[in-house]
Structure 1
Amino acid sequence: MSAMQDYKSSLADVTSRKFETFSYLPEMDAERIRKQVEYIVSKGWNPAIEHTEPENAFDHYWYMWKLPMFGETDIDTILAEAEACHKAHPNNHVRLIGFDNYAQSKGAEMVIFRGNPV
């Protein structure tokens, strides 16, 4: 049996915390983030952007960046909103969400920018 990898993560060290499945993978570059947005759009899901301070990332509620982008299919528009949120809140985590209308739930959710605790 292969050895399991232990991820050094703790509540005390906000920079070590893991979120969603993608946080256990290498950090996504712009091209990979774009592919995730393309996937969300291809499924017909509604994209949304949220953000929060790193120390509050495990709270139940993140701040909404504007309203969800209902029906938005332009990849560049979605990415521009994510960048605008990150620029407006450089110390906050920013996550991308794809809301699935039919399942009435999130079809995708991932942190695409990690903030730095102040």
Structure 2
Amino acid sequence: MSTVQDYPSRLSTPESRKMGTFSYLPPMDDGEIRKQVEWIVKHGWNPAIEHTEPEFAGATYWYMWKLPMFGESDVDAILAELKACHDANPGHHVRLIGYDNFTQSQGANMVVYRGAAV
């Protein structure tokens, strides 16, 4: 039987906090982020972008960046909006959400840019 690895994540240490499955993996490079966006688009999900300060990531609602991108299928447009949100809010976490119309829930949710912990 394998041993389950413990990931020390504490409220007192913001940089240790985990946010979703992908946060346990090494940071994604541009190509890997593009593949995730392509996957969301391929499934017909509506992308949305949110951001927040790192110290409030687990305790408050995230700010919505513009409106959800209903029906957007241009991967480059989605990536450009992610970058624009990051450029406008350089110290914030920026996450991409894929809303699934069928289940009326989030089908994907990942932090694309991670802000510096305070």
Classify the TM-score, shorter chain. Answer: over 0.9
Aligned to 1:100: 100
Identity of aligned residues (%): 67
Aligned to 2:2: 2
Amino acid at match of 1:104: Q
CA distance in 2, matches of 1:59, 1:96: 18
Q: What TM-score does the superposition give when structure 2 sets the normalisation length?
A: 0.96
Aligned to 1:14: 14
**CA root-mean-square deviation:** 0.9
Q: What TM-score does the superposition give when structure 1 sets the normalisation length?
A: 0.96
Q: Following TM superposition, by how much is the alpha carbon of 1:32 offset from its aligned partner in structure 2, in angstroms? A: 0.5
Amino acid at match of 1:2: S
Aligned to 2:64: 64
Aligned to 1:23: 23
Count of paired positions: 118
Secondary structure of 2:110's counterpart equals: strand
Q: Following TM superposition, by how much is the alpha carbon of 1:59 offset from its aligned partner in structure 2, in angstroms? A: 2.3
Q: Any gaps of 5 or more consecutive residues in structure 2?
A: none
Q: Following TM superposition, by how much is the alpha carbon of 1:8 offset from its aligned partner in structure 2, in angstroms? A: 1.7
Q: Deviations over 1:66-100 (max 9, x none)?
A: 00000100000000000000111111000000001
Runs of 4 or more above 4 Å deviation: none
